[in-house]
Amino acid sequence: MSPLRKQMQDDLVVRGMSPRTLESYTGAVAALAKYYGRSPDRISAAEIQRYLLHLIQEKRLAWSSCNIALSGLKFFYRVTLKRTQAQFELPTPRQPQKLPQILAPEEVVRIIECADNPKHRAILTTTYAAGLRLSEVCQLKVSNIDSVRMTIHVEQGKGAQDRYTPLSPRLLTELRRYWTLHRPKLWLFPGGRHPDIAILPHTVQRIFKRAKARAGITKQCGIHGLRHAFATHLLEAGVDVPTIQHMMGHGHISSTLRYFHLARKHLGQTPSPLDLLPRPAPKPR
């Protein structure tokens, strides 16, 4: 490992960045250095700007991916190299705001039932029952499941925040069935070939996509669709927004309020102005 990469990693750790952010940011700097074929501390701000345009115009990366690269490069040059005046930006995206497609309760059941084996079934059930992010379900430990208090301890979720979410009795039954068969030790869902490490996110995504395909569901969503369904179904069941916000680990209530746009109960109780118009008098026959 080069001294610059080590220094950047240390700077990220000191500022409390997550392992995923550390990997993304250092990867962005490594990709820049590879593109120009020289050490990143010898690359100018103008060259960095041209590289960002290359990512957009030639590689055609999604704006979100380019923005992660931009954030990593800004951190390296402004924090690690202390070039506080370094300037390079991305154009503001003009993207339509699309609401996610929400899985109905019956569709969630079908997906879980179509899982390959008890471990895969337990992963999908846990994701939905607790409303977990992909990274959170991957990083669950056996010790995070408290069957006495009936809670799940989510450690260092988004924003490096811990939280507790309720442990469903049905989920506990599912997890006990899974534990009897697999006996995980540290990680609740360890990797298949490497039980000493947690299952990888792309593996969990693949499990979900395979089960969704087997269930014959064509809605466009990844495993995050189970988290969207969790929040929407709770709202439809009458759970208040602040409670859902806490269970989801949202830093701002605005993130939770968007589920009002998705809740069938909310939409069904909102009248159309057509139904509010006075009915015309019947025409004489």
**Residues labelled catalytic:** 133, 158, 224, 227, 250, 259
* 133 Cβ contact partners less than 8 Å away, ≥ 6 residues apart: 157, 158, 224, 227, 249
Closest listed residue to residue 33, CA positions, set 65, 2, 71, 66: 2
* Neighbour tally for 180: CB within 10 Å: 9
Which string of DSSP letters, residue by residue, matches 265-282?
A: HHHHTSPPHHHHSPPPPP
Find the farthest-apart pair of alpha carbons in the chain and give their distance in angstroms, rounded.
Answer: 92
Which contacts (CB < 8 Å, 24+ apart) does range 232-235 have? Answer: 232/102, 232/259, 232/262, 232/263, 232/264, 233/105, 234/131, 235/259, 235/260, 235/262, 235/263, 235/265, 235/266
Q: How far apart are CA 41 and CA 85, in angstroms?
A: 14
Query: What would the two tokens of residue 267 be?
Result: 């939409």
156 burial (CB, 10 Å; 0-12 / 13-18 / 19+) is middle
Tokens 């345009």 appear where? 53
